Amino acid sequence: MVRLTKIYTKTGDGGRTRLGDMSEADKHDPRVEAYGAVDEANAAIGLAVAAIGVDHVLRAPLIAVQNDLFDVGADLCVPDRGEKLEWTPLRVEMAQAERLEGEIDRLNARLDPLDSFVLPGGSEASARLHVARTITRRAERRVVALKSAGEPVSDAVAIYLNRLSDLLFVAARVANDDGEADVKWVPGAGR
């Protein structure tokens, strides 16, 4: 359980921060960038949830995703360096990505197949979900870069973020009256 009694600590004033294992890192460290991008994605999803209303079919799955993204951040901020810790760190599980696949399939069944790319827009909720999708893709790129640099990163984290961006695309279409209000790309329309 998390208990926050003091919000500011002043420990980060010099440009350093503590990871979940209490080791220090620069605030511009690639790991901090990765879980920071995950936090941005979570905030963007929160804005989308606020725009869809309380009874919408997307509300519960998106709130579940927001909880998962805290798990992703927790996983990223405690790198698995093979060292014995005094506690068991929270790790993302493949079942979480598989749950997203089920949500994608369930929501996509409501939609007609696409015959064009869609532009971010239509309803406010859809536009916000597209913003969340692009932020999630950035978080995924940061995680993949971290992993490519030889840093320990769970495969499940990268896979989860990949599936999440797909879910957010489908959710954006659902938020557009199940795709009826999608704004379709017209190639060369701006010439």
Element (H, E) at 101: helix 94-108
Give the structural domain span for 30. Answer: 24-78+91-181
- 3 assigned to some structural domain: no
Q: Does residue 98 come out as left (phi exceeding 0), alpha (psi in the -120 to 50 range) or beta?
A: alpha
Q: What are the tens digits of pLDDT across the range 79-110? A: 888 888 888 989 999 999 999 999 999 999 99
* CATH code of 174's domain: 1.20.1200.10
Contact 173, 104 (CB under 8 A): no
Helix (H, G, I), strand (E, B) or coil at 119: strand
- 14 assigned to some structural domain: no
Residue 147 has what pLDDT? 96
- 2 assigned to some structural domain: no
Structural domains counted in the chain: 1
Mean pLDDT for the stretch of residues 173-183: 96
Q: Per-residue confidence at 1, pLDDT binned at 50, 70, 90?
A: low
pTM given for the model? 0.92
Q: What are the tens digits of pLDDT across the range 33-64? A: 999 999 999 999 999 999 998 889 999 999 99
Q: How far apart are CA 37 and CA 163, in angstroms?
A: 16
